[in-house]
Amino acid sequence: MQDPDVPFAIRVSDLVVGFGKRVVIDHLALDVRRGEILGLVGASGGGKSVLMRTIIGLIPRQAGTIEVMGALIGDSHDRRTQAAAGKWGILFQQGALFSSLTVRQNIQFPLRENLDLSDALMDEIATAKLEMVGLAPEEGDKFPSELSGGMTKRVALARALALDPAIVFLDEPTSGLDPIAAGDFDTLIKTLQKTLGLTVFMVTHDLASLNSVCDRVAALADGKIVAIGPMRDLLQSGHPWVRAYFHGKRSQMLQPKAS
């Protein structure tokens, strides 16, 4: 659905981000391939969200280049242009749904702002997106405060997909969901990635989703990507933090499946 000539959805090189004297991202390089699901792991407070927010332009960078779908991204002003808005969709951790709009209006919001469509068509598109994320059309008239955690995430995903972006950024999509809901959400991401040909950039701590949906996993430690590759490679990585992360008590359950 997008230009297939570009092999990488996101190319980050030599990126430096810091607050005051504290350097959070230190000369980081990361390539995200077209059509893959990349999981990003890292210590809490270790800069995962900072990296994601820098790529989408919410945090200014100190040095380095960021290329999205083959186009260099300049300062944060550029990202607000229509082209950029249609390129990516973002699922924030808490959903970030507009609380004064209904679910349907939330999904229609990017369509309404960027395209010139009839109301009837926008209603149909919103319903289609709702059904694609596994919700009933009736939920469209609810307000965000009436939704459960899992439904909020689904609606936020539907809104992120409203303009059919090439890339979706997911910030801890399964946090706060029960294992069944989290598993369903993982399946949903995988299905949508296949049908819509999405590139997914996912920040997560959920070992199960790393294992089941991610094509590649990148580990962020000390402001750099210390290991990247399929889950199997990461489990064999020698980096001490990566070892601690994947071989801790909580990740024991993954071992039999991975080996």
Residue type present at position 198: L
Q: Is 117 in the site for other proteins (CB under 8 A)?
A: yes
Binding status of residue 16 toward other proteins by CB under 8 A: no
Q: What is the DSSP letter of 66?
A: E
- CA gap 185, 118 in Å, rounded: 31
The span of 20-28, 124-132, 221-229, 247-255 binding other proteins (CB under 8 A) equals 124-132
Look at residue 148 and give its three-state secondary structure. coil
Q: Is the dihedral of CA 138, 142, 146, 152 positive or negative?
A: positive
Residue 123, judged by CB atoms within 10 A of its CB (0-12, 13-18, 19+), counts as middle
Q: Binding other proteins by CB under 8 A: which of 58, 63, 72, 121?
A: 121
* CB nearer other proteins, residue 14 or residue 146: 146
Q: β-strands 22-33, 37-42: how paired?
A: unpaired
Q: How far apart are CA 55 and CA 191, in angstroms?
A: 25
Token output for 219? 């580990």
For the bound state, the minimum distance from the C-beta of residue 88 to other proteins, rounded and expressed in Å, comes to 13
Cβ closest to other proteins, residue 164 vs residue 243 = 164
Of 44 and 145, CB closest to other proteins: 145
Range 143-202, binding other proteins (CB under 8 A): 143-145, 161, 163-164, 194-197
Give me the least distance between CB of 42 and other proteins, in Å please.
27
Stretch that binds other proteins, among 45-53, 117-125, 223-231, 246-254 (CB under 8 A): 117-125
Minimum CB separation of residue 195 from other proteins in Å reads 4
Q: If residue 51 lies in a helix (H) or strand (E), which one and from where to where?
A: helix 48-55
Chain position carrying tokens 């990126």: 15
Residues that bind other proteins (CB under 8 A): 1-3, 86, 99-100, 111, 114-118, 121, 124-125, 127-129, 131-132, 137-138, 143-145, 161, 163-164, 194-197
